[in-house]
Chain A
Amino acid sequence: MSMTERMTGQFIPGASLLHSLDARAKLFGFILLTAAVILADTVAGYALIIALMLLLTAVSKLPVSTVVGSVRRMFWFFVIIFIMNCLFYSAEDPIWSWWIISLSKAGAVQGFNVMFRILIILVLSNIFTLVTPPLEITSAIQSMLKPLKLLRLPADDIAMIISVAIQFIPTLLQEADTIKMAQIARGARFESRKLHERAAAMLPLIVPMFLSAFKRADELATAMEARGYRGAKHRSGKKAAPMPAGSYASILFCAAVCAAEIII
């Protein structure tokens, strides 16, 4: 990624309808729409999800290239997942098989399902983080975790940890893709039929992945401490305002999409 290219999931200020919605409504809507994506398993269900993605992109007024940026960078990751499922899925009725390769309809469907769900959820989480400032995401999670305070659990710290985890996902996925491509260039055999060979190819990815992730964690922790962050309980914050009616309507809309996926 070049220095001028925008980081995946980085908030972009704007005046769209999605920007103006309450962060709590956006988070709840994101959870409902993620459930809808997981529930989708028919052509009509997929069409509904694609239409919804187009609608959300249009309403967010974000450039399409930014919304699908992380997906574009992970193109080969999706291609590898699809091809592996297509060619190596152990189906009972293969269309064509030769040596270790077995092309089947069930494998193609499985590959498409996995690829489609990850792709749409990635776009969905990208839109969510692009239209919601990180601080608002944290307070939205905090308000969702409020009941934990009754049990004297540090709900504010847990909310901060979860919001940082969500923001790390696109970065780590990109990192995983880069490390995987580097290993392929070094001759790793991810496409081997033998389980132990494929597992052996995966193992060299784990250590660099942890080193890179911990390096990022160290940098972020240093930056937070340098700015005086000493834990969520020491932070002051404004009192959460009640959610406006429009935000309730958006939650209802997402719940309707989820219900439609169950019916379809």
Chain B
Amino acid sequence: MNILVCIKRVPLTGDKLVLTPDAQTLDTRLLGFTISPHEECAVEEAVRLVEKYGGSSVALTLGVEPATEQLRDAMAIGIDRAIHLVTGADDNAPEWDPLATAGAIADAIRADGAAFDLLLFGNEAADSGGYQVGIRVAHTLDLPCVTGVKGLEVNGNMLTAKRETAGGMEIFELPLPAVVTVKEGLNLPRYPSLPGRLKAKKKPIVTSSLAWRDGGLEKLQLKLPPEQTHQAEMLGKGADAAPRVVDVLERLGLL
């Protein structure tokens, strides 16, 4: 199987978010970056499928130069090679909107020439949360697509995808090649090993710089949601606190 996983570099935030003074983006000076969590599961799934059925895997990202770090992270887990569509030098570069992103990714997939059996995306990015890129790429490439997937099985040329709904589980069967956007819970991603990290340093990344594409979406400014306040209440000390603890547990429906 040949699998492509699309990942995005996103900031690793704490409880409190800080915006840049112009409110255009998060202040990331003190933050680390990671692969968006849904996509970590996509990477893990790709590696598992290749381990099981053979073939090869590619990680693709559209993002700034430092996003190389996330491509190496994916390759440390077991992805074989990477494609980096570079949009800027550092994390201050303007972000591409879903339309522009999907267009560039579709172009890159065509240009790569590999016949991918499966294109995996995260259901939505942890930062911008557009929910669009996977679907748009599928549309552009005229491939079937299932979103929000938490279970995958391959049977020959067919793919079974499971999606949680309020009442239970939706199960889809679709022919390969296909696009699937996945959610956390699909699997438990492994940690990279030391040899994995060292091997990743030597795996190939094909880099190309992209000219800015205007997808039509304009960011005016970011606004922080109202701060969540935490309130703690002392229920008492020692055995005296027991009745009140019971009250609370009952109120929460846990008893």
Q: Do these two chains interact?
A: no
Interface residues, chain A, with chain B CB atoms under 8 Å away:
none
Interface residues, chain B, with chain A CB atoms under 8 Å away:
none
